Structure 1
Amino acid sequence: MANPLTLLMPLIPGTNPLEVAKALEGFQPQLQAALTSIGTVHYARFLIMDTSAPNLQPSPTGKGPYVLAVITEYDGSFQAYIGDFVAQVGNIFDALLQFVVGGKAVTPVADNTTAFGAFIAANDLSQQPGSQGLYEAYPLTVQQVLAG
């Protein structure tokens, strides 16, 4: 059974969203390899939203404030998933959290695993009241899908 993560992290006011996008682009090969090696991630995506835009899409004339979103579906418990994040992509989060409100307080994430988990839980829309859960088209784990 998959679990959702809808992590919405406000960027520090004045942060250039293109700088964050460039950092994300540089981490793509490492991120792809790490998420594959974790073996429990169904899907994952990072995106930047402009809360001043009606459609939330950033543009060259956007004013912000901006939000960095991480949206994933994963197998297993939230605690295990956070442990995998710290072990496999902790350095990526260390780099990205420098742009995020409250991010410096939980970096490096390897030294602040409990605080990092609490930070993610507090900013995870999927764990907040009113969340509608996750529709699953199939009740298989990533490993069961890969095994065919």
Structure 2
Amino acid sequence: MSQNHFTLSFPLKSPADAKALAEQLPPMMPGLFRAADTIGKVHYSRFTVLSEKTLLFLGDFDGEFGPLMAHLAKLAGPVFDAIFQHVQNPPPGPVAANAEAFAKWTAAHLIHAVNLYTAYPNVTAKEIKALASAADVSGSGELHPFLVILPIKSSLHFIAVQLILRARGRGTTKDLDKVGTPHFAQFVPLEDNQIGFFTVYDGSFDKYIADFTKNIGEVFDLIFKFTKNPPPSPCRKHLQEFVDFAAAANRTPIGFYQAYPGLSVQDIHALVADSKPLSASGR
């Protein structure tokens, strides 16, 4: 088993459809959460309206993409049926009865991340839940999704940023490990020369940004050379400006699913360290 990430792009018919989905999706999220719990392979997921023409669905998961989409089609079909009423060229419906077509459609609308980060790469969602249950540990922490969209100056700069991020892949992983609070993180190329930085993190926003700036600020200093209206650099010397910029660039999540609510990165590391035989046997 291996952890992975998906960013799905749903092309919307009109600005009115984007507005309608922002209102219609929140009440439907309990059904999606129940499906994710039943499948047992999703760590975190969330929707967000990227623009008047695009809805994004993001998830961190175990295993392969195709089978996960087929399971979601069968167990959360009504959620996607509602979405596809607002989407250009949707797959055949109802989704639950056309799982293979849904999986094929989502594969064609999958945006591949430039790089991926996970704080605990060798453990599945099911294993984490089993470890927490065996240790009688319930999460009491505060987790949040961070969905930052960075507008890049031009298509050439857009390519340059992706090359920089790919080149710094391992270095970015080490930097995020030093932060100690991100669970998963991805840089994702988006429409109109934009780069999305998507994370799930522990604790308060201001503390996260402060720790983040200290340990990975240099990456953003590089990106900001190609970003429209960036904050002052270096980030570590202009912390409040970076906090304000990040807060303004952060998109509102719709339906933040957590497989193991409240468990922090450090909680999970401790559970894995104390129960290695169980973690190993799970594979």
Return the alpha-carbon distance in structure 2 between the equivalents of residues 135 and 9 of structure 1.
Answer: 24
Equivalent in the alignment of 1:117: 243
RMSD of the TM alignment (CA)?
1.4
Structure 1 spans left out of the alignment, 5+ residues: 51-64
Cα distance between partner residues in 2 of 1:12 and 1:33: 28
Which segments of 5 or more consecutive residues in structure 2 lack a partner in the other structure?
A: 1-141, 272-283
In structure 1, distance between residues paired with 2:236 and 2:196: 21
Deviation, 1:142, is: 0.7
Map of 2:267 onto structure 1 = 144
SS in 2 for 1:3: strand
Whether the 8 Å CA contact 1:75–1:142 is kept in 2: the answer is: yes
Q: Which residue of 1 aligns with 2:175?
A: 34
Greater relative contact order (Cα < 8 A, sep 6+): 1
Deviation string, structure 1 residues 43-97 (Cα, Å, up to 9, x no partner) = 00001112xxxxxxxxxxxxxx311110000000100111111100111110011
Deviation at 1:14, TM superposition (A): 4.6
Q: Give yes or no for contact 2:155–2:193 (8 Å, CA) kept in 1.
A: no
8 Å CA contact 1:15, 1:99 repeated in 2: no
Amino acid paired to 1:147: A
Partner of 1:72: helix, strand, or coil? strand
**Greater Rg, structure 1 or structure 2?**
2
| Residue 257 (structure 2) aligned to one of 128, 131, 135 | 135
Tell me which of 144, 151, 166 is aligned to 1:10.
Answer: 151
What residue number does 2:223 align with?
96
**Among 33, 42, 48, which residue is 2:189 paired with?**
48
Q: Which residue of 2 is the match for residue 23 of structure 1? A: 164
Letter in 1 for 2:180: G
* Aligned-partner residue type, residue 76 of structure 1: G
> Contact between 1:4 and 1:133, CA under 8 Å: does it hold in 2?
no
Paired letter, 1:143:
Q
Aligned to 1:54: none
Aligned residues: 129
The amino acid that maps onto 2:241 is A
Task: Give, as a single letter, the amino acid of the residue that structure 1 aligns with 2:201.
Answer: Y
Normalised TM-score (structure 1): 0.81
Q: Deviations over 1:99-123 (max 9, x none)?
A: 11111x3211112110111000000
Matched, 1:67 2:169: no
SS of 1:100 mapped into structure 2? coil
Deviation of the 1:136 alpha carbon: 1.0
The whole-number CA distance in structure 2 between the counterparts of 1:132 and 1:18 is 29
